[in-house]
Amino acid sequence: MGDLAHTLWMFNERVRQHGLPKFDLARQRELRAQMQDEFSAHADDDVTGPVRPQKILWDVRQVMGPHDILLSDVGAHKMWIARHYQCHEPNTCLIPNGFCSMAQAFPGAIAAHLVHPDRRVLAICGDGGFVMNVQEMETAKRLGSNIVVMVWEDGGYGLIAWKQDNEFGRHSDLSFGNPDWLQLASAFGWHGHRVERSRDLQATLQQAFAEDGPSLVVVPVDYRENPLLTQRLGDLVGSQA
């Protein structure tokens, strides 16, 4: 295992000695601009019912400050967060890769608030991942954690369905029922919110962060965007072949 600080120091020394190689980054700039256009295209979505992932993350980024902390759980939402949630500072967007452990974002948010009680802390979870650790709602209430947990509700294991559809053209039975989220929040002494209109999301998030103690924000998510993203990425790869 190499020492990261020493490795970076060596890189800097070589740059000072030899300068930077000449790279044509025009294509990278073009792709970055395309991603930004795709993201901002839904900033003003005004729909009732399921909300596009791009719109959800656009509003989240408006509400979260540069030093605030977002923790992503594992699920289809993770793919959208990794693609579109722009970080301004290190360690402000924590995403589990490697073993991709579901249900870590919620307890991770409790820990993040213990370390940084002066920052806004948001956990984004799928409904499947959140109910795996739902008992930690008692922990958050007992500790007085001023955190917000946002649940993207689709009633199924969306990432697995996405992958199976891409591979086989269909997916196995991955759907499940959900609790009454607002009753669940009340049972644990949390504040609870359900967003039925996209234009209400940003104000609801602001309200949740202003509340004393933990808050649950549930947003029905429009995962019809998943195959559309797959198609866009496939067209992109095809154009580079």
- Which CATH number characterizes residue 125's domain? 3.40.50.970
Q: How confident is the model at residue 80, as a pLDDT?
A: 94
Closest listed residue to residue 190, CA positions, set 133, 148, 130, 128: 148
Instruction: Say what percent of the chain tops pLDDT 70.
Output: 97
223 in any annotated domain: yes
The mean per-residue pLDDT over the stretch 149-177 comes to 93
Q: Is the pLDDT of residue 239 over 90?
A: no
Mean pLDDT, rounded, for 124-128: 96
Under the phi-then-psi rule, with left for phi > 0, alpha for psi from -120 to 50, and beta for the rest, what region is 132? alpha
Per-residue model confidence (pLDDT) at position 2: 79
C-alpha count within 13 angstroms, C-beta hemisphere, residue 152:
32
User: Contact at 8 Å (CB) between 165 and 227?
Assistant: yes
pLDDT band at residue 20 under the 50/70/90 scheme:
confident
> Which position has the higher pLDDT, 170 or 101?
170
Task: Tell me, yes or no, whether 131 lies in a domain.
Answer: yes
221 neighbors 53 (Cβ within 8 angstroms): yes
Number of domains in the chain: 1
1 inside domain = no
The separation between CA 34 and the C-alpha centre of its own chain, rounded to angstroms, equals 20
* Residue 59 maps to a domain: yes
What pTM does this model have?
0.86
**Long-range pairs for 210-215 at CB < 8 Å and ≥24 separation?**
212/146, 213/141, 213/144, 213/145, 213/146, 213/189, 214/137, 214/140, 214/141, 214/145, 214/146, 214/147, 214/148, 214/149, 214/190, 215/147, 215/148, 215/149, 215/185, 215/190, 215/191
Work out the pLDDT band at 101, boundaries 50, 70, 90.
confident
Q: Is residue 72 part of a domain?
A: yes
pLDDT of residue 238: 58
What is the model's pLDDT at position 237? 61
Of 58-62, 100-104, 215-219, least confident by mean pLDDT is: 100-104
Q: What is the pLDDT of residue 27?
A: 87
In a domain, 198, yes or no: yes
Buried b (16+ CB within 10 A) or exposed e, 37-56: eebeebeebeeeebbbbbbb
pLDDT above 90 coverage of the chain, percent: 76
Domain that includes residue 102, residue range: 47-232
Using alpha carbons only, what angle is made at residue 65 by residues 64 and 67, rounded to the nearest 5 degrees? 115
28 within domain boundaries: no
In the structure, what pLDDT confidence band is assigned to residue 22 with cuts at 50, 70 and 90? confident
- In this prediction, residue 136 carries a pLDDT of 97
Q: Does the structure show a pLDDT above 90 at 230?
A: no
